[in-house]
Each structure stands twice: as structure tokens, then as C-alpha cells.
Amino acid sequence: MGVETGTGAAASTGRAGIVITGASSGIGEACAMHLDRQGFRVFAGVRAERDRAALRAKASSRLTPLRLDVTDLDSIATAVRTVSEAVGEAGLAGLVNNAGIAVPGPIETVPLDLVRRQFEVNVVGQIAVIQAFLPLLRKGRGRIVNMSSIAGVAAVPFLGIYGASKFALEAMTDALRLELRAWGISVSLVEPGAIATRIWNKSACLAESIRASADPALVALYEPLMRGLARRATDAERRALSPNAVALAVVHALTAARPRLRYLVGTDAKVRAAAKRFFGDRAHDRLVAAILRLPKSGQWVAGTGDRKVKV
């Protein structure tokens, strides 16, 4: 973690253009505001008209809100035309792929259409945006920053589908970094831990929707675990970092002379990544099981124990 590379030209302020997806709130909005204040020409991708108006009210005239849905190829193409007309032959200094969703729940209970939706947004959508903006990034010898998660380094239970999408994003980014090396395009990953954003509120609502539509027998199997986890998730949310902490890492990836390949953000992310890297999978499993107070292995096998979970 934190290995540096010298590829890619450092973005400078002024007319340098940077595209950010998922900029309506949270990390994306924080990135847009930080880069706008530093003088960059920010193209902030949002899905709703009300979000465009909100960004205009908060930012300088340099910031241009774009309607950009990463799952809609026509929307992406329109955004590329708008940005291309604005930056011309200067091209882009950066692309920040931040748009994403989190599908929660035990893997056994998640409907397959939601599994597909998770990957459509978090993986396929990112690739579609990268493919579309690469000609402008080549012109500007720009940089790409992909928003991953500690869940893409060390998976956790009940976010397995989300984690799988982030593991896929990590693999894609590692390959892309080498593929674009010849053009001097730097590619970095940002791997935050717990961050206070709306994605988790949306995820909680989605979890309740999944629970309501799932097979009652399956829901009953996991119910004791989910009750305890909900309480601990609330505690973790209180300790979550501000999106500004992630925005600072993104700014460094775009502007530093030697951007890092990976940026772990937050003590929780660093501890879990270290446990996984230096002590292996079993140690990481024990750490997560202890934090989440999961039952011991085999505890729920018929006739060997009760189904109580400490909360």
C-alpha cells in the first residue's frame, strides 16, 4: 500500500479540466468542492436536475454540473461532447470515478437482479466512463482516480456483493494502470474505510427492502445476526470520517508529482489492510468476527449450540 509512481503529469490549476462522477453528495461533492476551490475547471456528474442546481449554488462559476448516469451510454456520450467542447485540444487533467452503490445483505438472500445492478454501476459503469473519456485524457496526459473501498481489499460479511464489485474494480485498475503507462496516464485507487455519506443510508433502506421481499425462512436464519450488526453499524457511523478526508487523498492523486498507486483513508481501513497483508486471511477473519461479534464456527449447527448473538 502506498507505493508511488512517477507516471502522469501533475494537474495544475487554471483551465485544467477534471471530471467527477457521482458528485451530488458525499465524497464526490467533497472532491468537486475541494478542486473547485483550488481553481480547477470541474465537471461534476450528477443524475438529477435538483443536484445540478445545488452544486451551482455552492461552487464558483468554474464548476459545470453535468447530467451523467454511468449506466446510460447516451448520458455518457452527451457528457463527453459537453466536456470536449469546453476543454478543446487541452484535453482533461483528470477523471475521478466516484459513482457507486452498496447492495447489502447476506449473499444467500440478495436477489440476482440486485447483484447485476451492483456490478453494472460499480464496475461496468466505471469502465464505460473510462473508455469514453480516455481520448480527452490522452490529450491532456491526465490522471484517473478510481474510488474503491477497504471492502475491495478485505471483504466483510453482509457486504459481500458490494465487496465483490470493489475487488473487481481493484483488478481492473491494476491492469489499466499498466495498459496506460505508455501514454503517461497515472491511475490510482482510493480505499476509504467508514466515511459519513448518504450511500449507507440508501444501503440501509435497500437492506430493509431485500429483507421484506426475501424468503421468510432465509430471513429467520440470519435475523439474530442482522439485529446485532445493525446496532454496531450505527456505532461505526458515529465514528465515520468526513468525506473531506477522502477528497484530500483524491486531490493528492491528481496533483502530486509522484501520486500513490493506492490511498488507504481512515484508521479502520489501515488496520484491516495491515491485518490482511501481514497476518493473512485467518487473522483477518478473526479480527472481523471479533469486531462484529459473530458466532463461533459451527455454533449454529443443529444440536451444538444456541442462536444467541451478543449485541
User: Does residue 12 form part of some domain?
Assistant: no
**Lowest mean pLDDT, pick from 98-107, 155-164, 220-229:** 220-229
Percentage of residues in the chain having pLDDT higher than 70: 85
Contacts of 267 (CB under 8 A, 6+ apart): 193
Distances (CA, A) of 177 to 144, 166, 172, 174, 239: 9, 16, 9, 5, 33
SS3 113: helix
Partners of 64 in beta bridges: 43
Q: With a cut of 90, say whether residue 100 has pLDDT above it.
A: yes
Alpha-carbon gap, residue 141 to 173, rounded angstroms: 17
At 3-30, the pLDDT tens digits run 344 455 566 555 689 999 999 999 999 9
Percentage of residues in the chain having pLDDT higher than 90: 67
Helix axis angle, 243-255 to 26-37, nearest 10°: 50
Long-range contacts of the stretch 164-172 (C-beta < 8 A, 24+): 164/118, 164/119, 165/100, 165/118, 165/119, 165/121, 165/122, 165/123, 166/122, 168/119, 168/122, 168/123, 169/122, 169/123, 169/126, 172/123, 172/126, 172/127, 172/146
User: Does residue 166 form part of some domain?
Assistant: yes
Q: With a cut of 90, say whether residue 296 has pLDDT above it.
A: no
Q: Which of 95, 132, 119, 134 is closest to 171 using CA atoms?
A: 119
Domain that holds residue 162: 17-292
Mean pLDDT along residues 40-48: 96
Q: With a cut of 60, say whether residue 303 has pLDDT above it.
A: no
Question: Which residue would you say has higher pLDDT here, 14 or 107?
Answer: 107
pLDDT of res. 10: 60
Q: With a cut of 50, say whether residue 193 has pLDDT above it.
A: yes
Q: Which of 40, 43, 162, 222 is catalytic?
A: 162
Question: 246 near 265, Cβ under 8 Å?
Answer: yes
pTM of the predicted model as reported, rounded to 2 decimal places: 0.89
User: Does residue 252 form part of some domain?
Assistant: yes
User: Does residue 310 form part of some domain?
Assistant: no
Active site residue 162: yes
User: Does residue 309 form part of some domain?
Assistant: no
Domain tally for the chain? 1
Among 77-86, 149-158, 201-210, which range has the highest average pLDDT?
A: 77-86
CATH number at residue 256: 3.40.50.720
Phi, psi dihedral angles at 191 (to 5 degrees)? -125, 80
User: Does residue 1 form part of some domain?
Assistant: no
pLDDT of res. 6: 44
Alpha-carbon gap, residue 293 to 307, rounded angstroms: 13
pLDDT of res. 232: 66
At 205-233, the pLDDT tens digits run 656 766 777 788 887 888 878 776 766 66
What mean pLDDT is reported for the chain? 88
User: Does residue 303 form part of some domain?
Assistant: no
pLDDT of res. 160: 96
User: Does residue 251 form part of some domain?
Assistant: yes
pLDDT of res. 200: 57
Alpha-carbon gap, residue 162 to 37, rounded angstroms: 32
pLDDT of res. 259: 98
Q: Which of 120, 106, 117 is closest to 73 using CA atoms?
A: 120
Phi, psi dihedral angles at 246 (to 5 degrees)? -75, -40
Question: 173 near 148, Cβ under 8 Å?
Answer: yes
